[in-house]
Amino acid sequence: MGGKPEANTPPIPLLPADGEDSQLSLLLRTYLKPDDIEQVMTAYRFSDAAHAGQLRKTGEPYITHPVTVACILAELHLDPPSLMAALLHDVMEDTEVSKPELAERFGKTVAELVDGVSKLDKIEFQTATHAQAENFRKMLLAMSQDVRVILVKLADRLHNMRTLDVMAPEKRRRIGRETLEIYAPIANRLGLNTVYQELEDLSFKNIYPRRYAVLNKAIKAARGNRREVVGKVLEAIKYRLGESQIEAEVSGREKHLYSIYKKMAEKTGTFSQVFDIYGFRVTVKDMPTCYLSLGTLHGLYKPIPGKFKDYIAIPKANGYQSLHTTLFGPFGTPIEVQIRSREMHNIAEAGVAAHWLYKSSDADLSALQQRTHQWLQRLLEIQSESTDSAEFLEHFKVDLFPDEVYVFTPKGKIMALPRGATAVDFAYAVHSDVGNRCVAVKINHDLAPLRTELRNGDHVEIITASHSKPNPSWLNYVATGKARAHIRHFLKTMKSEESAVLGERLLNQALRALHADPALIEESRWAKLLRDYGIKTREEILTDIGLGKRLNIMVAHQLLAMAEAPGERSHKLGSITIRGSEGMAVQFAKCCRPIPGDPILGFINKGKGLVIHTHDCPAIRKFRMDPDKWLDVEWDPDTHRLFMVNLKLAVANQPGVLAKVATGIADAGSNIDNVSMEEGDNSAYTNMHFTVQIKDREHLATLMRRLRKIPEVVRINRVKGAIVEHRNQ
């Protein structure tokens, strides 16, 4: 906003007065037409009247807040609807003005923007966390329709952070953390560099006020000491570029406080050990000149190996483009240099806001808008897969990783993923169906596990199978919100569908025990039951029965309008047949790992559904006395799946014994799911623990006979009860 005014020059007022210019009107004149300015000032006058008499906690008239928000957006040269929404953004929350009234006076676009920024304060929530999450969800969904919603919200948050000193310390810390976790990363993701850096610094100041003060003081003290080095480097860069006949603007810049603090925290070092608090920026006319300048500077100072990044060839996800290099400067001080064109600089500073400032057909701008649109579409996908607002917010936070890796598809397309992303994240980034059906991956043409973390430059090819489906264990290592949301949604849907099928079988069993034909239950009885329970569909009741949230016998009684004394079971229920193909609705207990042929019992576990244990499992003794908890179950004679069994082998401690046992297991037609060995103590024998896949008890007996024939195997037995499983991480 220009240089510092002379001592005798009165400051430009924030709010307009009769015959006076204001900060806002002066900013608007730099890029808007008179008609557009009048529209914005009409919104100002309306907001001023609506907020008349209201004060901020700072004691200022409330109107100073929306005007400052509008000024922040005017500095980014946003369009009139955005500025009008900024001036009106609190009228729906804090005054009697309604959305239809705003639409009538200022148009539908402005009304939608204001509504997107407004909180859901008319709804009562169970907790403050739920209210916060639901407000984020509303705002982010509005943002996915029109990105200007979040631009207004970011400007609103920036001014609130600037004036947070009047709040209580605990509230300042809470708002600071929220800003650091949500708003600053969003600003970074949208390429609003100046807003992002100021939000980070203000968050740091309010979360850790003492650390901020100490570091700020140290930087001010260091400026004088380092001024000579900075001046010398600036002059050297300008002179060398001039010698090469390269026209360039060269400037030195100080890194923002929070980035210096992060660097100190990462390296667990002191401030004196952080040399590169100063960076240098070289701005040239076009892209080819960027690379010419790079060569010239590498001739001036030696580059540090491994510290060069080409964000021009592969831009960051927020559209940022520059060449980054770190050089050995005078006195051995490392100096960081960014080289970019003027267009790249405009996008680096304004991000998506550059769309409204630079009306051009520039390919970089259109690519930036395309990437932003893709990110917003991912938000919509995450929202559609998330069942509640808190889950949506969790997935969204995961998706705000600032650091990225760039990998290639089989067709050579570059994809950006957060650092730590795995092959599963890549599969979901390609398409949700690819993620749901992936079974293997080739990384740089070699097969690799799906949990493999991707690195810059990896060539990734996903292998899919039509019968495959997501594995719950994927949630332990995926790094993107999109992958996490799709996996959870798929598992919940599958569990709900499978639980409904199981619930229907359990209910039919109970009805038959009461001598009723399930097919003859009248629709009117179902309708009455739904009304009594206050739910909409029959599937919900069946799902609840399958998950153990409702007792099948009680639902059967209510359907038949019969009464039974509590705790009494006047009808013996038949047994449920277990096929092994029920999916997540039926779970096999890991403590005893039942297999076909074992005598079994089924226990209704609320939320998990039907859990199958062996008859003699120690873990179920306390439940055996409660008949409402268990069901008679039996194996279907024709099961078509493999079951896990825990085996413990005592073996002679000799070379090659593990290979012999593994070969024996494979020869018996079984597969090893997990193996671990007890820590050696130099004795002649050791214990090995295996989890193997088998079909039934007969298959298990065959496997154990084969293993006993191995000379080194001293003893073998099946383990029921607790077993320590050392799974590979």
Of the given ranges (131-145, 154-168, 242-256), which has the lowest mean pLDDT? 131-145
Of the given ranges (8-12, 75-79, 188-192, 430-434), which has the lowest mean pLDDT? 8-12
**Residue 723: pLDDT over 50:** no
| pLDDT value for 601 | 83
- Residue 353 half-sphere exposure toward CB, CA atoms < 13 A: 30
Percent of the chain with pLDDT over 70: 77
Is 698 within a domain? Answer: yes
Please, which contacts does 691-695 make with residues 24 or more away whose CB atoms are closer than 8 Å?
691/644, 691/645, 691/646, 691/647, 691/725, 692/644, 692/645, 692/647, 692/665, 693/642, 693/643, 693/644, 693/645, 694/595, 694/642, 694/643, 694/645, 694/670, 695/595, 695/596, 695/639, 695/642, 695/643
Nearest-angstrom CA–CA distance, 352 and 375:
12
Residues 495 and 471 in one domain: no
Residues 423 and 542 in one domain: no
pLDDT in tens, 6-30: 444 556 777 666 545 788 888 888 8
Residues 312 and 336 in one domain: yes
Structure tokens at 317: 């996800």
Contacts of 219 (CB under 8 A, 6+ apart): 254, 257, 260, 271, 277
- The residue out of 455, 479, 503 marking a domain boundary is 479
- The residue out of 359, 389, 412 marking a domain boundary is 359
Structure tokens at 339: 């080289």
Residues 284 and 241 in one domain: yes
Strands 278-284 and 576-578: unpaired
pLDDT in tens, 664-676: 999 999 999 889 8
| pLDDT value for 272 | 60
Calculate the CA dihedral of residues 460, 466, 469, 473 and round it to 10 degrees: -40
Residues 660 and 603 in one domain: no
Is 364 within a domain? Answer: no
| pLDDT value for 506 | 81
Contacts of 394 (CB under 8 A, 6+ apart): 481, 484
| pLDDT value for 70 | 93
Quote the number of domains for the chain: 5
| pLDDT value for 108 | 92
Structure tokens at 355: 């769309």
- Identify which of 224-233, 404-413, 446-455 has the greatest average pLDDT: 446-455
Task: Tell me which residue range forms the domain holding 527.
Answer: 488-635
**Residue 275: pLDDT over 70:** no
CB of 385 closer than 8 Å to CB of 492: no
Is 378 within a domain? Answer: no
pLDDT in tens, 566-576: 444 444 455 67
Is 696 within a domain? Answer: yes
DSSP string, 30-89: TT--HHHHHHHHHHHHHHHHHTTT-B-TTSSBTTHHHHHHHHHHHHTT--HHHHHHHHHT
| pLDDT value for 171 | 92
**Residue 521: pLDDT over 90:** no
Burial class, 300, CB count within 10 angstroms (exposed 0-12 / middle 13-18 / buried 19+): middle
- The residue out of 460, 479, 498 marking a domain boundary is 479
204 vs 630, residue with greater confidence: 204
pLDDT in tens, 331-390: 777 788 999 999 888 888 776 666 554 444 444 445 666 667 666 666 666 666 665 666
CB of 135 closer than 8 Å to CB of 374: no
Is 373 within a domain? Answer: no
| pLDDT value for 468 | 85
Calculate the CA dihedral of residues 681, 682, 687, 689 and round it to 10 degrees: 70
Is 381 within a domain? Answer: no
CB of 596 closer than 8 Å to CB of 696: yes
Please state the rounded mean pLDDT for residues 495-503. 77
Residues 537 and 580 in one domain: yes
Q: What is the CATH number of the domain that holds 42?
A: 1.10.3210.10
pLDDT in tens, 452-462: 999 888 899 99
142 vs 429, residue with greater confidence: 429
Which residues are tagged catalytic?
93-94
